[in-house]
Amino acid sequence: MFVAKRVKGDLFSGLITDVDEEIMNSDQNRLDIDTIVIHHNGGLSDEGARSTWYVSTGHGTSAHYQVTPDKIWGCVGEESVAYHAGNYEVNQRSIGIEHLNNRGEPDWTIAEETYWNSARLIADICNRYNLPINGEAIHPHREFTATDCPGGIDLKRLIRMAAEILAGDSFQVSKEEQPRDGDGERLVRVVEDDLYIRTGPGLAYPDQGFCPLGTFTIMQVEEADGYTWGLLKSGRGWIALDYTEEIK
């Protein structure tokens, strides 16, 4: 999962689904990468957002990635400086990730699928550059300039999702990688965005927040309170398997 690839000489995450081949604002005065900056488009048009980063439109801004519910766009290669943070020194040492909004003002939220795609991308970048998945390395745009960006993005949740992915708790898996019958494990897909993770197998156990959408390995199963509970491989807690889909 954690690989990079080159497209016409530019370096991108191996997770990209598309590359916008228009010439975007950038330069080569790169420093060692130690920061990821999170942005929102402040708009509902994917194409409209990306077009503002073209040299031809004269806005003077850009980003390395644009994330939507169904795409991860490569825009400016990681070895180039993109103009996104409002602070050139931060630009030199950071990767800027933009997100398409699914609601306009005042909420400026992003879709659940966009959270998932972004978390995968963040996990990939942090793994390749040996960055911690926390607030030391992952910052909202507003930390560097006077702006409300990244709008309604829940950055704490996004960081938590990325950390779980990197820890191997949630991932995409091929048929060859699926556990065999009888090995004590099973794969399930979480399809509800309000599924709690609990400290034990039952409703009486405290919750530890919501489980992100995605595919998870279950290590142990218990019955309690009319539900079937599964222990996440990460050890973080238990989820009600009644609200998941088993992957055969």
Question: Does 3.40.80.10 match the CATH number of domain 4-166?
Answer: yes
DSSP structural state of residue 70: S
| Tens of pLDDT, residues 130-178 | 999 999 999 999 999 999 999 999 999 999 889 888 876 544 433 333 3
Q: How far apart are CA 230 and CA 243, in angstroms?
A: 11
Q: Which residues pair with 38 in a beta bridge?
A: 97, 140
Q: Which fold has domain 175-247?
A: SH3 type barrels. (2.30.30)
**Length of the chain in residues, anyone?**
248
In this structure, the dihedral spanned by the alpha carbons of residues 147, 153, 157 and 160, taken in order and rounded to 10 degrees, is -70
Cα dist from 14 to 38, 73, 143, 173, whole Å: 19, 11, 28, 15
Residues 6 or more apart in contact with residue 54 via CB below 8 angstroms: 22, 23, 24, 25
Domain ranges, ordered by start, for the chain: 4-166, 175-247
pLDDT of residue 177: 36
pTM summary value: 0.70
DSSP structural state of residue 134: S
Stretches where the chain sits below pLDDT 70 are: 1-2, 168-184, 248
DSSP structural state of residue 243: G
Q: How far apart are CA 59 and CA 231, in angstroms?
A: 50
pLDDT of residue 248: 66
pLDDT of residue 184: 61
